[in-house]
C-alpha cells in the first residue's frame, strides 16, 4: 500500500511564528515534522511514499534528495497552482500502484495501529475509511456523525456538535474513491467525502494521541512534548 502525504498547504496560521516556511518541514525535536510522519508509516511497514507538494515544494524535495530515508521510495507530485486537498489527491492518482492507499496530512499524526486500521477497512467493504478521535475542546477540523457499524452519515467541516467526532486526518482510500475527484481544485473534506457517503465511508476509532502543528500554540506544545513522542 502506498502512503500519500498532503504537504502543500500555505500554513497561513503559522506565518506569525514561521514566516515563509513550509509548514510540514518545521522542526520538532530536531527533525522536520514531515519526517516524523514518514518515519511513523515506515515503522508500520510502508515503504513507498507519494508527497503531494505545493507551496515551497522545492524545500521538501531538496531535503529528501539530500537526506534519503533508507528503505523508502519517495516520489513527488508537485502542483503548479493551489489545488486544495482534493485536487492534490487527484493530481497524484497516476502515481498510485496499489488498489488502496493510506492518506495522511503532513502537519498532523495520530499514532494508531495501522494493521488494525487496514483490517477494519477491509472488513467494512466501503471505498474509504478514516480514523477519528474525541474532539475535546477542538472547534476546528473535520467533524463526523457516525451511525451503526461505524458508517459515517454526515461530514460537518468545522462544525462541532453533540455526539460528533473529529477526523484524525488519516484515511485509507480505495481506487474507486479517486474516481470521485474531479479536475481542478477541490477539498477532500468538503467536496469529495460527502459524495462518497453513498458508496460507504467508515470511521475507525484511533485510540491514540493526536499530534498537530497547525497553529502556533499546538506547534509550541508539541515541541515541548517531543521527547515523549514514539515516532
Residue 73 has a CB neighbour count (10 Å cut-off) of 11
pLDDT (mean) for 126-136: 96
Q: Which residue in 223, 214, 204 sits closest to 139, CA to CA? A: 214
Residue 213 has a CB neighbour count (10 Å cut-off) of 26
Model confidence, pTM: 0.95
First to last CA, the chain: 20
What pLDDT does residue 117 have? 98
- Looking at the DSSP assignment, which residues form a beta bridge with residue 170? 104
In this prediction, residue 24 has a pLDDT band, given cuts at 50, 70 and 90, of very high
What pLDDT does residue 158 have? 82
d(CA 124, CA 122): 6
The answer on pLDDT for 93 being more than 90 is yes
Can you read off the three cell numbers belonging to residue 195?
Answer: 459524495
Residue 9 has a CB neighbour count (10 Å cut-off) of 22
* Segment 158-213, tens digit of pLDDT: 889 999 999 999 999 999 999 999 999 999 999 999 999 999 999 999 999 999 99
Question: What residue has cell string 494508531?
Answer: 112
Write out the CATH class of domain 2-224: alpha beta
Question: What residue has cell string 453533540?
Answer: 162
Torsion of CA 114, 190, 83, 166, to 10 degrees: -40
The answer on pLDDT for 28 being more than 80 is yes
Domain assignments of the chain as residue spans, ordered by start: 2-224
Q: Which long-range contacts (CB under 8 A, 24 or more apart) does 155-162 make?
A: 155/189, 155/190, 155/193, 155/194, 155/197, 157/187, 157/189, 157/190, 160/135
Question: What residue has cell string 491514540?
Answer: 208
Can you read off the three cell numbers belonging to residue 38?
Answer: 514518514
Q: What are phi and psi of 198, to 5 degrees?
A: -70, -15
Q: Give the single-character DSSP code of 125.
A: -
pLDDT (mean) for 69-97: 96
What is the pLDDT of the chain when averaged over all its residues? 94
Q: Which residue in 136, 178, 137, 157 sits closest to 145, CA to CA? A: 157
Do residues 41 and 104 make contact, with C-beta atoms less than 8 angstroms apart? yes
What pLDDT does residue 197 have? 97
In this prediction, residue 69 has a pLDDT band, given cuts at 50, 70 and 90, of confident
What pLDDT does residue 184 have? 94
The answer on pLDDT for 225 being more than 90 is no
pLDDT (mean) for 23-34: 95
Amino acid at each position: 500500500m502506498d502512503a500519500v502525504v498532503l504537504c502543500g498547504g500555505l500554513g497561513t496560521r503559522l506565518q506569525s511564528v514561521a514566516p515563509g516556511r513550509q509548514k510540514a518541514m518545521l522542526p520538532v525535536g530536531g527533525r522536520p515534522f514531515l519526517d516524523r510522519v514518514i518515519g511513523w508509516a515506515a515503522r508500520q511497514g510502508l515503504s513507498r511514499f507519494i508527497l503531494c507538494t505545493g507551496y515551497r515544494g522545492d524545500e521538501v524535495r531538496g531535503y529528501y534528495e539530500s537526506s534519503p530515508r533508507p528503505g523508502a521510495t519517495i516520489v513527488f507530485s508537485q502542483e503548479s497552482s493551489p489545488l486544495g486537498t482534493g485536487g492534490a489527491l487527484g493530481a497524484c492518482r497516476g502515481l498510485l500502484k496499489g488498489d488502496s492507499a493510506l492518506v495522511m496530512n503532513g502537519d498532523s499524526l495520530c499514532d494508531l495501529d495501522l494493521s488494525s486500521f487496514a483490517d477494519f477497512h477491509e472488513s467494512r467493504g466501503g471505498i474509504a475509511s478514516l480514523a477519528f478521535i474525541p474532539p475535546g475542546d477542538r472547534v476546528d477540523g473535520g467533524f463526523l456523525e457516525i451511525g451503526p457499524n461505524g458508517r459515517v452519515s454526515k461530514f460537518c467541516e468545522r462544525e462541532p456538535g453533540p455526539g460528533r467526532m473529529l477526523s484524525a486526518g488519516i484515511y485509507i482510500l480505495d481506487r474507486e474513491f479517486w474516481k470521485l475527484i474531479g479536475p481542478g481544485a477541490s477539498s477532500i473534506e468538503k467536496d469529495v467525502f460527502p459524495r462518497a457517503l453513498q458508496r460507504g465511508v467508515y470511521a475507525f476509532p484511533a485510540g491514540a494521541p493526536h499530534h498537530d502543528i497547525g497553529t502556533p500554540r499546538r506547534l509550541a506544545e508539541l515541541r515541548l512534548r517531543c521527547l515523549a513522542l514514539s515516532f
